Chain A
Amino acid sequence: DAGVIQSPRHEVTEMGQEVTLRCKPISGHNSLFWYRQTMMRGLELLIYFNNNVPIDDSGMPEDRFSAKMPNASFSTLKIQPSEPRDSAVYFCASSFDRGVSYGYTFGSGTRLTVV
Chain B
Amino acid sequence: KQEVTQIPAALSVPEGENLVLNCSFTDSAIYNLQWFRQDPGKGLTSLLLIQSSQREQTSGRLNASLDKSSGRSTLYIAASQPGDSATYLCAATTNDYKLSFGAGTTVTVRA
The interface of chain A, by Cβ under 8 A from chain B, is: 31, 33, 42-43, 45, 48, 50, 55-56, 91, 93, 98-109, 111
The interface of chain B, by Cβ under 8 A from chain A, is: 31-32, 34, 36, 41-46, 49, 51, 89, 91, 93, 96-99, 101-104
Complex contact A106–B44 (CB within 8 A): yes
**Pairs across A and B, CB under 8 Å, 23 listed:** A31-B97, A33-B99, A45-B99, A48-B97, A48-B98, A50-B97, A55-B97, A56-B96, A91-B43, A98-B97, A99-B97, A100-B31, A100-B32, A103-B32, A103-B46, A104-B91, A106-B45, A106-B46, A107-B43, A108-B42, A109-B42, A109-B43, A111-B41
A98: B residues at CB distance < 8 A = 93, 97
Q: Which of A56, A101, A107 contacts B98 (CB 8 A)?
A: A56
Chain B residue with the shortest CB-CB distance to A50 = B97
Q: How far is the CB of A30 from chain B (nearest CB, A)?
A: 12
Q: Which of A91, A102, A111 contacts B44 (CB 8 A)?
A: A91
Cα-based distance from A107 to B42 in the complex (angstroms): 9
Q: A42-B102, A103-B32 are in contact. List 6 more A-B contacts (CB 8 A).
A: A31-B97, A42-B101, A56-B98, A100-B31, A100-B32, A103-B93
Q: Which of B34, B41, B89 contacts A43 (CB 8 A)?
A: B89
B31: A residues at CB distance < 8 A = 99-100
Cα-based distance from A111 to B97 in the complex (angstroms): 26
Complex contact A99–B43 (CB within 8 A): no
Q: How far is the CB of A102 from chain B (nearest CB, A)?
A: 7
Complex contact A100–B103 (CB within 8 A): no
Complex contact B99–A42 (CB within 8 A): no
